[in-house]
Structure 1
Amino acid sequence: MQNIHKVMFVSHAIEDENDGLQQAVSLAHTSGAELRIVAVCPALPEDFEDYSDAYGEGLTGRVESSLDAVRKEQGLSAEDLPASIEVECGSAPANRVIRRVMEEDFDMVIKNVEGRSRRKGFKAMDMELLRKCPCPVWLCRPLHHGRDDIRVLVAVDPECEEGHAYDLAIRLLRLSRALADSWDGTLHIVSCWDYDVDAYLRHNFPLDLPDEEIDRIVEQAGAKHRAKLDVLIRAAGIGGAMEIHHTIANPARFIPLLVEEKEFDLLVMGTVARTGIPGFIMGNTAENILQKLGCSLLALKPASFESPVKAD
């Protein structure tokens, strides 16, 4: 996969993390990328300092065992997919990961979702990475389908016709196309539009507009939005099998329901940045989607994003 040269898999080294490790190994192998596994853990209390070496070795050994199992399952040897393992002990694990990303130019961070993976939404460390990490973050849950049939859904807003938001939409489509091509082959694209004044026009008695006229206006607005979506897809230069889910709806409600109904394995979406405000990446729509989401998530940020976490 283009532009993926360094992948970091974040491990807690205390539970089964094979869902995420499978994705990290597969992506690194198909992209020819370097794979680094970083096991994050709390620092030992002073009373246990004598055990620090054994502590680190135990965590490393557990990760190595998981990595060997995943390689074997994918038919790879250590020579086919070399990987380095490092242990990162201390507080604020998300910030530690983000500093490594910035200092060593990682192209993607992959990890399992925190807590019970079947629950919807994301917990503290995951949300910190989504809010603050400058590179794409892939948070993994168990798949609905086999590894060759993973179903990808990408959410885009065609109203972003210029600048960093437009560039982000193009990146979302191209990356999602590449992922879909490596799996079930069909890329699903969702784009929601809303006509806020619809209800006001229908219930504004002094205006007394007939429903047929309002329907015509709303239909025109939807056609204009769809035309912009088609232009965006053409600008991304992607082809192949596609299914477009274009509807008038609140995206924060519609997208999680679509994911659940169609059993998508991965949602690819962008987060919104305000230029000049480091760390401000989440709008209300994105936050609401995330808290209702029950599948894996791959989140990208605009090129203009500035992390509030500073490199050492």
Structure 2
Amino acid sequence: MSNFDSKQVLLVLNKAGKLDESTLLKAADTAQSRDERLTILCVLAEPDFAMHQHFLQMDSGYIKQKISEATKQTIQATVTKHCPQLSINVEISFGKLYLQAIRYTLKNPVSIVIKSAEDPTWMDSIFDSDDMHLMRKCPVPTWLINTGRHQTPGQVVVALDFKAPEEEGAISEFNRQLLDLTLTFVAKTASSITLIHACADSLADFASIWADDPETMQQQITQQEKVTKRAAMKQAHQYLLDKQILPTPVIKTRLIDGHPEESVAAFVKANNTDMLVLGSLGRTGIKGLFMGNTAESILQQIHCSVITAKPQGFESPIA
């Protein structure tokens, strides 16, 4: 079953169980616009059973039940306060946040995971965080919202990847997946969508090995590669135009020079981007594929909201 045919939006609360109002409203709007159910998942730390059993003579099952009931009531009251007409499903679990969230997506038809970023400066120390674990290992798209920025993603950047030879001059399956993700979740609220691709790792770099005139050969190869990638970008641009998004955002394309680890992050920051959509930058069909070093390096440098996606065929390493 395709992720986009699913019937549930999963809003994951942070460790403290705090329900951020702006993230709740975004998750509610996403679920309602897609006619899907909104589920709120709150993951709590395991109670100190030894203390409770010794002093209160309660077994672990009863303790968890009471904690779950009280937490559900608190969440329901908060939702009713901000979204009185919203019908939700609340799930309470115990353990590590990212593990329980991913396991929920493996057992239920979830279209997207939405979560507030853990801190306004979340990318500075994200690598051992629940956020990074979700982006690395969650099999469905993950939307991390930086609540310190604009709540409506006006300036959206989509990072496309045209590395494989079979993708040249065409929209690859994974790039099409990223475009569909953009159309599904953010296009209708975007004021502009910029499709970017970082031109690096060119065959021109190896021209000096076999060419009599390396400089001329490098220029020719680089020019031809850019022609091919511009054609692919044009097709991606037309793909969005054909969907007739209303209201219609400004749709632009940019080929940027340099390695994506540096150039994509620099572009995002220089253009006051509200939302970055990108993939794991890996190839399909690899079991347990993690987000590549390129994507992680980009995420470390930026502070906007992010939607990440995995290629079709990705299998989460979480059991």
Which TM bucket (shorter chain)? 0.7 to 0.9
Q: Is the 8 A contact 1:252 1:286 kept in 2?
A: yes
What residue number does 1:67 align with? 79
What residue number does 1:74 align with? none
What residue number does 2:36 align with? 33
Q: Is the 8 A contact 1:266 1:295 kept in 2?
A: yes
Measure how far apart 1:132 and its partner are: 1.5
What residue number does 2:254 align with? 245
Q: Is the 8 A contact 2:158 2:194 kept in 1?
A: yes
Q: Does 1:113 align with 2:132?
A: no
Find the residue that maps to 2:308 and give its secondary structure. strand
Residues of 2 paired with 1:247 and 1:276: CA distance? 28
> What does 1:92-171 align with in structure 2 at a 5 Å threshold?
92-114=96-118, 116-121=119-124, 122=126, 123-142=128-147, 144-145=149-150, 147=152, 150-160=154-164, 161=166, 166-171=172-177
Measure how far apart 1:180 and its partner are: 4.2
Letter in 2 for 1:182: K
Task: Sort the Cα spacing of 1:153 and 1:100 in 2 relative to 1 into closer, same or farther, 3 A.
Answer: same
Residues of 2 paired with 1:206 and 1:110: CA distance? 51
More displaced 10-residue stretch of structure 1: 150-159 or 35-44: 150-159
Letter in 1 for 2:103: R
What residue number does 1:10 align with? 12
Write out per-residue CA displacement over residues 20-39 of structure 1, whole angstroms, 9 at most, x where no aligned residue: 32221110111111100010
Find the residue that maps to 1:264 and give its secondary structure. coil
Find the residue that maps to 2:91 and give its secondary structure. strand
Task: Sort the Cα spacing of 1:272 and 1:48 in 2 relative to 1 into closer, same or farther, 3 A.
Answer: farther
Q: Is the 8 A contact 2:120 2:148 kept in 1?
A: no
Q: TM-score normalized by structure 2?
A: 0.80
Q: Does 1:181 align with 2:149?
A: no
Measure how far apart 1:155 and its partner are: 0.7
Measure how far apart 1:137 and its partner are: 0.9
Task: Sort the Cα spacing of 1:277 and 1:175 in 2 relative to 1 into closer, same or farther, 3 A.
Answer: closer
What residue number does 2:47 align with? 44
Q: TM-score normalized by structure 1?
A: 0.82
Q: Where does structure 1 lack aligned partners over 5 or more consecutive residues?
A: 72-76
Kindly report the root-mean-square deviation, in angstroms, between the aligned alpha carbons of the 2 structures: 2.9
Task: Sort the Cα spacing of 1:169 and 1:199 in 2 relative to 1 into closer, same or farther, 3 A.
Answer: closer
Residues of 2 paired with 1:168 and 1:206: CA distance? 34
User: Kindly, what percent of the aligned residue pairs are identical?
Assistant: 24
Write out per-residue CA displacement over residues 91-133 of structure 1, whole angstroms, 9 at most, x where no aligned residue: 233222212111112111111122x223425342112211221
What residue number does 2:272 align with? 263
Q: Is the 8 A contact 1:143 1:265 kept in 2?
A: no
Task: Sort the Cα spacing of 1:31 and 1:275 in 2 relative to 1 into closer, same or farther, 3 A.
Answer: closer
Measure how far apart 1:183 and its partner are: 0.8
Task: Sort the Cα spacing of 1:250 and 1:92 in 2 relative to 1 into closer, same or farther, 3 A.
Answer: same
Q: Is the 8 A contact 2:41 2:90 kept in 1?
A: yes
Measure how far apart 1:184 and its partner are: 3.1
The number of residues matched between the two structures is 295
Write out per-residue CA displacement over residues 145-201 of structure 1, whole angstroms, 9 at most, x where no aligned residue: 353x63211111134445xx9222102112213444321342111111125466676
Find the residue that maps to 1:304 and give its secondary structure. coil
1:82 pairs, out of 75, 81, 87, with 87
More displaced 10-residue stretch of structure 1: 209-218 or 221-230: 209-218
Task: Sort the Cα spacing of 1:255 and 1:274 in 2 relative to 1 into closer, same or farther, 3 A.
Answer: closer
Letter in 2 for 1:140: I
Residues of 1 paired with 2:211 and 2:311: CA distance? 42
Residues of 2 paired with 1:266 and 1:205: CA distance? 41
Task: Sort the Cα spacing of 1:205 and 1:299 in 2 relative to 1 into closer, same or farther, 3 A.
Answer: closer
Task: Sort the Cα spacing of 1:15 and 1:180 in 2 relative to 1 into closer, same or farther, 3 A.
Answer: closer
